[in-house]
Amino acid sequence: MEIVSYIITVLAAYLLGSIPTGYLVARARGVDIRASGSGNIGATNVFRVLGKPAGIFVLVADGMKGYCACNWLVDLVMHLGIAGPGHSGDLARNLPLAAGITAILGHNYTCWLKFKGGKGVATTAAVLAGWTLPGFFIALATWLVVVAITRYVSLASMAAGVSLAFAAWFTRHDLPLTIICALLGTLAIYKHKANIKRLLDGTESRLGKKKEEPK
């Protein structure tokens, strides 16, 4: 019956992660966030288009999707006792991993918007916090340092993605977790491919810099 626990967890975590928070918040304000700013539904674009309160709300909500998936959702499935009283210890170790991965995929490829979602930075960070809190602080410190030096949110997010595998290994010495974090970091960088092009072209927006008004 353990397979049933995995199926329920994966499906529920995907649906939780797929809630398009940024899109819904913008729609409530009469804005299609996909046609505004960078066109991304994530917190950074919501911040730029709708302002600080909306951006912070989306950031926290997108993070909570990941954290709730690999913690509260997994706890609920375990308490339901679907796998029976004699389930293996592997279930308790692996369900949070499965839930976290699918929550991130749900955010990045939401079924509600034709599988076009966000970049998963906030959701991935919160999932990492659920897996290894010290590892989360390493990734967060990386993000803060890079954004403070460069003022590029996208570059800081990619740097944090690169740090995921190191953070996992340094704090947990768990090879499967390290490999998973390396793959998630790679996915985060891939989702920033448009930002990479703008960085190379010198047209990427810096944090706190207002766009120049056309003359």
**For residue 88, pLDDT beyond 80:** no
Percent of the chain predicted with pLDDT > 70:
94
In a domain, 125, yes or no: no
Q: Average pLDDT over the chain, rounded to whole?
A: 93
Same domain, 84 and 6: yes
The total number of structural domains in the chain stands at 2
In a domain, 214, yes or no: no
**For residue 190, pLDDT beyond 90:** yes
Tokens matching residue 175: 């090879």
Q: What is the dihedral sign for C-alpha 25, 43, 17, 57?
A: negative
pLDDT, tens digit, 9 for 90 and up, residues 15-27: 999 999 999 999 9
**For residue 46, pLDDT beyond 80:** yes
In a domain, 127, yes or no: no
**For residue 76, pLDDT beyond 90:** yes
pLDDT value, residue 213: 39
**For residue 87, pLDDT beyond 80:** no
Which residues form the domain of 151? 132-209
Same domain, 167 and 92: no
**For residue 191, pLDDT beyond 70:** yes
What does 70-101 look like in DSSP terms, one character per residue? IIIIHHHHHHHTTT-TT--HHHHHHHHHHHHH
DSSP state of 205: P
Per the CB < 8 A criterion, the answer to whether 99 and 13 are in contact is yes
Same domain, 115 and 17: yes
